[in-house]
């Protein structure tokens, strides 16, 4: 990735974090829905990034896990339900990538991996987040007409990998 691509990715993550913080503050005050809010903010950021084109678009598809991971961190800091946020985050990135013609299956897998990894690092409920990631992928599959069975098979494999990662890292998470 070029220096310009890296700088653009950092800017996107910063914008995403700021937008999520602002949006989730209204949710904490009781004026919104965590799933819908995270979905809408993330989808908008992903679509805008991918429409920018070129190497940045390739880089963005490769950083879906980072987008979701950042979203999990922001949700945790904002005091909203991480599991609800993950459902919205995963749905949003899948919807966004689909809208610009990207690879939905790889996006779903990478998004779930980012959610599980971030939750593990924060010491959260890995099992609950894994389930929420699957729910988000199924919701996105339904919304976009994709094969939910294929996404479900990919998540089953991800869940197996998360168990292995947790065992290697001392068993902190149980799925």
Q: Would 175 be classed as within a structural domain?
A: no
Q: Is residue 173 part of a domain?
A: no
User: Which range marks the domain in which residue 152 is found?
Assistant: 3-168
Q: What is the pLDDT along the chain (175 residues), one digit of tens a residue?
A: 455 445 445 555 667 777 777 777 766 666 568 888 888 888 888 887 777 665 445 545 567 888 888 889 988 988 888 999 999 999 999 888 888 887 888 888 889 889 999 999 999 998 899 989 988 988 887 777 755 566 656 666 666 665 555 555 554 444 4
- Overall domain count for the chain: 1
Q: Does residue 30 form part of some domain?
A: yes
Determine, yes or no, domain membership for 149: yes
Spatial CB neighbours of 53, under 8 Å, sequence gap ≥ 6: none
174 in any annotated domain: no
Question: Is 138 domain-assigned?
Answer: yes
Inter-axis angle of helices 64-78 and 104-122, to 10 degrees?
40
């Amino acid at each position: 990735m070029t220096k310009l691509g890296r700088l653009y990715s950092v800017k996107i993550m910063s914008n995403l974090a700021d937008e999520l913080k602002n949006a989730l503050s209204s949710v904490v005050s009781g004026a919104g829905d965590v799933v819908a809010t995270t979905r809408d903010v993330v989808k908008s950021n992903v679509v805008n990034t991918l429409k920018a084109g070129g190497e940045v678009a390739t880089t963005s598809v490769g950083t879906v896990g980072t987008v979701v991971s950042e979203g999990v961190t922001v949700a945790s800091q904002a005091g909203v339900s991480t599991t609800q946020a993950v459902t919205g985050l995963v749905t949003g990135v899948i919807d966004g990538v689909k809208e610009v013609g990207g690879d939905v299956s790889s996006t779903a897998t990478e998004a779930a991996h980012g959610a599980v990894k971030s939750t593990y690092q924060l010491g959260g409920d890995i099992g609950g987040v894994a389930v929420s990631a699957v729910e988000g992928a199924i919701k996105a599959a339904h919304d976009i007409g994709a094969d939910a069975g294929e996404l479900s098979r990919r998540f089953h494999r991800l869940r197996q990998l998360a168990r292995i990662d947790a065992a290697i890292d001392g068993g902190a998470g149980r799925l």
